[in-house]
A and B are shown apart, each in its own frame.
Chain A
Amino acid sequence: MSLVFTHTEWLQLFLHFATLSLLAVGGAITVAPDMHRYLVDEKLWISDPQFSASIAIAQAAPGPNVLFVGLMGWHVGLNAAGVPGALLGFALTLTGVMIPSCTLTWAATRWAHHNRELRAVRAFKQGMAPVVVALLIATGWILATGTGYDLSHWPLWAVTIVSALLVWKTRIHLLWLLGAGGLLGATGWV
């Protein structure tokens, strides 16, 4: 793919991700379908494999998953202007998606902390507690069954269940578990 990018396109890229920022309740991944619609279907800026790879690479790396947004910009820039363009695209999409939501979070949580004895603030935080705990377990469930409920996936599920039990009941370092999982996968056991 080769694209012609002027200031207008770069600005559009930044602004589109800045608008998505405040909609991303539950993390940037919740607006990924809209990113696909815009970048792949409407603008033809990146290919579908590049879109999928952006998400997979960010999941393989340590750190916040939101970095996949930067990789979308990376691929747009790569198609438009090589590696320098890729770096610019990475910076534009990532700052675009971060600045609005971070500013809002900073202001709102600051207010909530100063008013933490208010009944409404306490009711919100404590009322959300069971939902929060359930969402964590549900996220684990969704990640573990992302490949479907086919029984042939049982070795992967066994890995998930064993690592959940080990983390719950022991203080084993998380990196050992991830290393073991990577090794089992690379050698073809799971």
Chain B
Amino acid sequence: MQPADRPRPQSPADLFWSFNWLALQGFGGVLAVVQREIVEKKRWLTPEEFVEDWAVAQTMPGPNVINLAIMIGDRHFGLRGALAALVGVMAAPMLIVLALALAYANYSHHPQVAGALRGMGAVAAGLITATGLKLMPALKRNPLGMPWCVLFAGLCFGLVAWLRIPLVWVLLGVGGTSCVLTWRRLKA
């Protein structure tokens, strides 16, 4: 199990401000920032725990970063923690989005604005890719073993990125097979 002195959120307020801060850095999706802040800086989760929790957050309906905030918040401070993390991840970005919506009518036709959005979008794509690359070592201790992990990951990448198969089928098909195989391995 976990050593008692590992880092953890101090209070619901700590959860609120931590998630607030990481949400404000998360352009084009919060995931890359969550990994950087929660795993690398705060060490509330190990890379292995992060991958496992992310699997759950991803397979539940709803926005996965919000699901993850609810999970981490609830684990440490119950419903209060879940709400603190949830409000933290939503509050500040919500105000910014509303301000942008008000400004949108006036500035949407400027080519510089469109260009800046395009450049930031390209960086955001790189951030998310790097998050995946950084989590690969977490697969080393997976009960499936590396060859099976590589096979399932490669299959999943091809189906989603190239063939654009809807996520539900990939999760049920590839994910389901992988879970059954893991279940059989865990018996031993």
Is there contact, CB below 8 Å, between A143 and B178? no
CB distance from A43 to the nearest CB of B (A): 20
Please determine whether A163 and B115 come into contact, CB atoms closer than 8 angstroms.
no
Nearest chain-B residue to A63 (Cβ)? B93
Q: Residues of B within 8 Å of A, CB-based: how many? A: 105
A45: Cβ under 8 A from any B Cβ? no
Check A119–B183 contact: CB distance below 8 A: yes
**Complex contact A134–B119 (CB within 8 A):** no
Q: Is B39 an interface residue (CB 8 A)?
A: no
Contacts A109-B70, A137-B129, A167-B127 known; A174 to B62 CB distance under 8 Å?
A: no
Residues of A near B65 (CB, < 8 A) are: 64
Q: Are A63 and B92 in contact (CB under 8 A)?
A: yes
Interface residues of chain A: helix, strand, loop or mixed (majority): helix
Contact A164 B126 (CB under 8 A): yes
Report if A125-B97 is in contact (Cβ < 8 Å); known contacts: A163-B123, A167-B32, A174-B127. no
Query: Which of A62, A125, A183 lies in contact with B119, CB distance below 8 A?
Result: A183
**B86 interface residue, CB < 8 Å from A?**
yes
What's the Cα separation between A62 and B179 when bound, in Å?
34
Cα–Cα distance between A182 and B124 once the two chains are bound (Å): 11
- List 10 A–B pairs whose Cβ atoms lie within 8 Å, in order of A's numbering: A26-B167, A60-B120, A61-B97, A63-B96, A124-B179, A126-B52, A132-B55, A136-B31, A143-B128, A182-B119
Given contacts A60-B120, A109-B71, contact A129 B139 (CB under 8 A): yes
Who on chain A is nearest to B91 by CB? A63
Residue from the list A61, A90, A136, A190 in contact with B135, Cβ < 8 A:
A136
| Contact for A168 among B119, B134, B142, B148, CB less than 8 A | B134
Residue B46 lies at the interface, judged by CB distance under 8 Å to chain A: no
- Evaluate whether A25 and B94 lie within 8 angstroms (CB atoms) in the complex, with A105-B70, A128-B178 already known: no
Interface residues on A, range: 35 or more
B156 contacts A113, CB within 8 Å? no
Q: Are B127 and A126 in contact (CB under 8 A)?
A: no
- Please name all residues of chain B whose beta carbon is closer than 8 Å to the beta carbon of A146 when the two chains form the complex: 121
Q: Which of A56, A71, A130, A156 has most B Cβ within 10 Å?
A: A130
Interface string of B60-77 (1 = CB under 8 A from A): 111111110011001100
Is the Cβ of A119 less than 8 Å from the Cβ of B187?
A: yes
User: When the two chains form their complex, are residues A164 and B160 in contact, meaning their CB atoms are under 8 A apart?
Assistant: no
Interface residues of B (CB under 8 A from A): 23-33, 36, 40, 51-67, 70-71, 74-75, 79, 82, 86, 89-90, 92-94, 96-98, 100-101, 104, 108, 112-113, 115-136, 138-139, 142-144, 148-150, 152-157, 160-161, 164, 166-168, 170-171, 174-175, 178-183, 186-187
Given A23-B61, A63-B89, A182-B119, also A127-B178 (CB < 8 A): yes
Mark A33-73 against chain B: 1 for CB-CB distance below 8 A, else 0: 00000000000000000000100111111111111001100
Kindly identify, within residues 88 to 123 of chain A, every residue whose CB is under 8 Å from any CB belonging to chain B: 90, 94, 97-98, 100-102, 104-106, 108-110, 112-113, 119-120, 122-123
A144 interface hit (Cβ, 8 Å): yes
Q: How far is the CB of B56 from chain A (nearest CB, A)?
A: 6
Residue contact A64 to B74, C-beta cutoff 8 Å: no
When chains A and B are docked, how far (Å) is the Cα of A166 from the Cα of B36?
Answer: 13
Q: How far is the CB of A134 from chain B (nearest CB, A)?
A: 4
